[in-house]
Amino acid sequence: MKVKAANVVPSFLLVVILLVLVAGCGATTKKTPTKLKTEGGTITLQQLADVQPGAGRIMPLLGQRMTIAYYASKAGKWELADYELKELGEDAEVIEKTRPDHKKDIGHFVDGSSFKQLKSDTKSKDFTAFQTSFDKTVQACNSCHKSSGVSFIQYKLPKTQPEIPYISN
C-alpha cells in the first residue's frame, strides 16, 4: 500500500502535539509553586511554614482554656467547659502538625487517660470527679514541660476566677 505524503504529515504533527502535551503535563505536576500571593506581594512556601504557630504561641491558649473549663464547670456551665476542652484538644493537635518533634508527646497527652477522663467528667457533669481529673490533667501538662526541657513552666489554676466575660459571676 502506498502511503500518501498528505496523510503522513498530519499524523506526524499529531505525534508532536501529543509529545508536547505530555511533556507539559509532566512539568506542571513536578513543579511546586514556591511563590504565593498575598495582598501585599508574594511570599514563599518556606516563609509560610516559618510563621505557622508553634508550641510557644499555642500553649498560652491551652492554659487559658484549662482555666475557663475549670471555672465554667464550677459555675455549672458544662456546655462551655465541654467546648473549651474540645477546642483545647484541637489546639494541641495544631502543634502536632506545625511542630512534628512534639507529635508523640502531644498525642500521648490528647489520647491519655487524664485528659479523656476530664472530658468524660464534664459530660457527666460531676464537679467532684472533674476536680480530681483536672489535677491529673495539669500533672500531665506539666510533666510534658519537664520532659520537653521547660520544667520552669508549670501551669497552675488561678486561685480566684479571672475575668471571663462569658461566665457571669
Q: Taking the complex as a whole, how short is the minimal distance between the CB of residue 148 and ligand HEC, in angstroms?
A: 4
Is 158 a binder of ligand HEC (CB under 6 A)?
A: no
Binding residues for ligand HEC, how many (CB under 6 A)? 19
Instruction: Cell 482554656: give the residue.
Output: 65
Grid cell for residue 92: 494541641
In the structure, how many helices (H) and strands (E) does the chain have?
7, 2
The stretch among 2-10, 26-34, 53-61, 127-135 that binds ligand HEC (CB under 6 A) is 53-61
Distances (CA, A) of 68 to 27, 64, 156, 167: 52, 6, 13, 9
Out of 53, 63, 117, 157, which residue is the one contacting ligand HEC (CB under 6 A)? 63
Out of 43, 75, 129, 150, which residue is the one contacting ligand HEC (CB under 6 A)? 150
What is the number of other CB atoms lying within 10 angstroms of the CB of residue 162? 10
What is the number of other CB atoms lying within 10 angstroms of the CB of residue 137? 25
The stretch among 18-26, 30-38, 52-60, 159-167 that binds ligand HEC (CB under 6 A) is 52-60
Grid cell for residue 26: 509532566
Enumerate binding residues for ligand HEC (CB under 6 A).
54-56, 59-60, 62-63, 66, 102, 105-106, 109, 141, 144-145, 148, 150, 153, 155
